[in-house]
Amino acid sequence: MITFDHVTKYYKTNIGLNDVSLHIDRGEFVFLVGPSGAGKSTLIKLILKEIDADSGSILVNGREVTKLTSRLIPAHRRNVGIVFQDFRLLEHKTVYENVAFAMEITHQKRREIKERVPAVLGLMGIEEYVKKYPSELSAGEQQRVAIARAIINAPDVLIADEPTGNLDPDTAWEIMRLLEMINEKGTTVLMVTHAKDIVDRMNKRVISLENGQITGDAVGSYETKNAEENKEEAEGGEEEEEFVFDWTSGGLD
């Protein structure tokens, strides 16, 4: 679904990504972790073609992203749903309009929008908020709206850049359940996070980045680095260490 082949991206003075190769299969759930400045957001921006790679190839759903012309970028982005830490909802639009908006841009039929939006809001458990404005919702509810908007056009890939960064632990876990459900329905999910306990408990594939390079890629915990052999073990479900994590710093470090 997503393949990076020797991708390098330098900013004027900083390294964004340095010779990164990775492959994510259709239907996978992958965490992308690493310290601040490691290049996680850079990797996501490259997938969305918000920025251009200096070299290397990026395939998303069989399409060579680095060669997309500006005319083809919008269609590409509709196939990649995106959720941010700060929700990024349109403040003057209602919940319904925020989600419907993603369908309106492709000029879908109003009837179809009217059926689909409430259905997806229902899936996110916020169908009763259709007429409310984002400012009237809690953080967790706003993130649900953002997720609904990201998946309304049934993208193949859902990318989440620290989606739980602004949420309390319980709410964060509710969001994780939703992402897991979306993944189980077949959408590939790539999630950037600093939340060790979420990564550890979810027991999914974890790709670690540091200084623009991949330093670990294995199923398991946040700290797992180079345990290729861990992959098979982890599949069997290993005992998880109960890790008490300080949430207030978790999202911000």
Partner 1 sequence: MRLAYTISQAFKQMNRNKAMTVASVFAITAMLLILGLFFILVVNINMAAESIRDDYNTIEVFYLDETKEADIKKAQTEVAAWDNVEKVEYRSKAQAMEVLKKRWGDSGYLLDSLKNNPLPNSLIITVKDLEGSDAVAEQAKNLAGIEDIRYYKDTVDKLVKVTNGIQIAGLVIIAFLIIISIVVVSNTIKLTVLNRSEEISIMKYVGATNWFIRGPFLFEGIWIGGLSAALSAGIVAAAYWKAADILESGIIQVMSIPMVPVKFMALNLLWIFLALGISIGAWGSIISMRRFLDT
Residues forming the site for Mg ion (CB under 5 A): 41
One DSSP character per residue, 152-170 reads: TT--SEEEEESTTTTS-HH
Distance (Å, whole) CA 122 – CA 115:
11
The residues that bridge with 33 in the sheet, in sequence order, are: 208
Distance (Å, whole) CA 195 – CA 224:
14
Q: What does 14 bind: partner 1, ligand ATP, Mg ion, none (CB cut-off 5 to 8 Å by kind)?
A: ligand ATP
Residue 12 vs 107, nearer CB to partner 1: 107
Q: Which of positions 92-131 make contact with partner 1 (CB under 8 A)?
A: 92, 101-102, 104-107
Q: Which of 48, 130, 139, 227 binds partner 1 (CB under 8 A)?
A: 48
149, two tokens: 């908007």
Q: Single out the segment in contact with ligand ATP by CB under 6 A; choices: 9-17, 60-68, 176-184, 215-223.
A: 9-17
Q: Which of positions 27-46 make contact with ligand ATP (CB under 6 A)?
A: 34, 36-42
Q: What sections of 105-138 are H helices per DSSP?
A: 110-123
CA end-to-end span of the chain: 30
Q: Which of 3, 4, 16, 58 binds ligand ATP (CB under 6 A)?
A: 16
Distance (Å, whole) CA 98 – CA 153:
13
| Contacting residues toward partner 1, per CB under 8 A | 48-50, 70, 73-79, 82, 88, 90, 92, 101-102, 104-107, 149, 153
Q: In the complex, which residues of this chain contact ligand ATP (CB under 6 A)? A: 11-12, 14, 16, 34, 36-42
